[in-house]
Structure 1
Amino acid sequence: MATKKKQTAKVSKAAALREKDVAGLQAEIKDLQKAHFGLRMQKATQQLSNTGTLSVTRRDIARAKTILAQKQASAAAAK
């Protein structure tokens, strides 16, 4: 049951990202990268209590980059 809930959350994140345009996705990626950098610095200084957030943020960046690449490929194919 818990896995289905996690899958639904991932789908809703992806759906929310797909609604954004290319500029919005690029801004989202930049924000996520800044957040990930901050988390890495916290981990390096041993201030990060929940290290699982690093993995979640990294996956969110990958998800956003994948959707951005799909949008760019479909735009190139449409030309």
Structure 2
Amino acid sequence: MTTINVESIKSHADVIASCGTKVGEVDHLQGSDQIKLTKHGDGHHHLIPVSWVGEITDNKIVLTKDSQEVKDTWIQA
């Protein structure tokens, strides 16, 4: 298993689900274990755990969850 360097997660990076769908953009890290996304179409921020991050490339965060699973289980902030 690859270790993710959370310091590589930058604001405004695209967050892409494992299925290839963009699910949001990084607002900032909240603590060392959650990523706060910029406001979604519903007008709310959402939190996702860093443990969902599978890969960080350039300005993209690729998750290990598909978009439906992300939206079903993210936390509204």
TM norm. shorter chain > 0.5: no
The structure carrying a bigger helix percent of its residues is: 1
Q: Which has the higher contact order (CA 8 A, sep 6+)?
A: 1
- Give the structure-1-normalised TM-score: 0.22
The structure carrying a bigger strand percent of its residues is: 2
Point out the structure with max Rg over C-alpha. Answer: 1
- Give the structure-2-normalised TM-score: 0.22
